[in-house]
Structure 1
């Protein structure tokens, strides 16, 4: 087992994420225990056991705020809080919060972030995931546990 812990908290490490590039133009499906919609500010709040699916990507959280574009034509952003898990292919990440910018295809995970890729595990303060490129950048105090091949 190898343990890598960079000494500088500002360092970040690039890693692959997901089995392929994510098509961010696919429909977004949201399932939850409860829904509250605000026409005033163009948002929808999904509460309790929320599951968001887009293609091969799945986000689970306690609550998800959906922010629509000003013309209400598309989803602009998703903000997930409470026990956030993001899964794409065999890769999974856990965090306290997540922000998904749908147009940019970027997901920012914050707070006690843990990334699992098979037997390899990486933790940090934040992970920026580029769904279009299928890559992730782990930042903050990064710690990695890599399993040698047998």
Structure 2
């Protein structure tokens, strides 16, 4: 009986620690809420706009809010890079200064983020904090595939999992 109890206790401890061990080295995460359709129009609202015709960029500053479908990205500044061949097509958004990405019930915060429109990839770096309901995951780099709703957190990952949540 004692041996069975010890084996059961050891199995429970290992089962509890395995997600944390996997996350501490970088892990694949599900982002049911953080999804977007990269083909939808991108709406940008800000306090100021500066356009550079030479390099094909536009810089939005002050309370910047980027919306695409249900996804929202806010930051202090967003640099919009247009295509070389087609200056009407957005290729990439580079957000800096208190970046927050929200979609559904999921939210992620970071120092900066780069959203590549064609691929639907968002790379957030610098003290990243992802909140999914009562659970949180923190690290240095979060890569999210908005099309599939999956992502990967890297860089000394730390998580807080609430008992009973899956």
TM-score (norm 1): 0.92
Confirm whether residue 137 of structure 1 aligns to residue 122 of structure 2.
no
1:5-46 C-alpha deviation (Å, 9 max, x unpaired): 54997x211111143742100000000000000000000000
Q: Number of matched residues?
A: 148
Q: Would you tell me which structure has more helix in proportion to its own residues? A: 2
2:128 and 2:115 map into 1 onto residues whose CA distance is 15
1:79 and 1:13 map into 2 onto residues whose CA distance is 24
Confirm whether residue 84 of structure 1 aligns to residue 99 of structure 2.
yes
1:43 and 1:118 map into 2 onto residues whose CA distance is 36
Q: Contact 2:47 / 2:62 at 8 angstroms: preserved in 1?
A: yes
TM-score (norm 2): 0.83
* Structure-2 residue corresponding to 1:98: 113
Greater Rg over alpha carbons, structure: 2
**Cα-Cα RMSD:** 1.9
Q: Which runs of 5+ in 1 are unaligned?
A: none
Q: Contact 2:138 / 2:159 at 8 angstroms: preserved in 1?
A: yes
Q: Secondary structure at the match of 1:124?
A: strand
Poorly superposed stretches of 4+, deviation over 6 Å: none
Q: Which runs of 5+ in 2 are unaligned?
A: 1-15
Confirm whether residue 116 of structure 1 aligns to residue 126 of structure 2.
no
Q: Would you tell me which structure has more strand in proportion to its own residues? A: 1
The answer to which structure, 1 or 2, has the higher relative contact order (CA under 8 A, 6+ apart) is 1
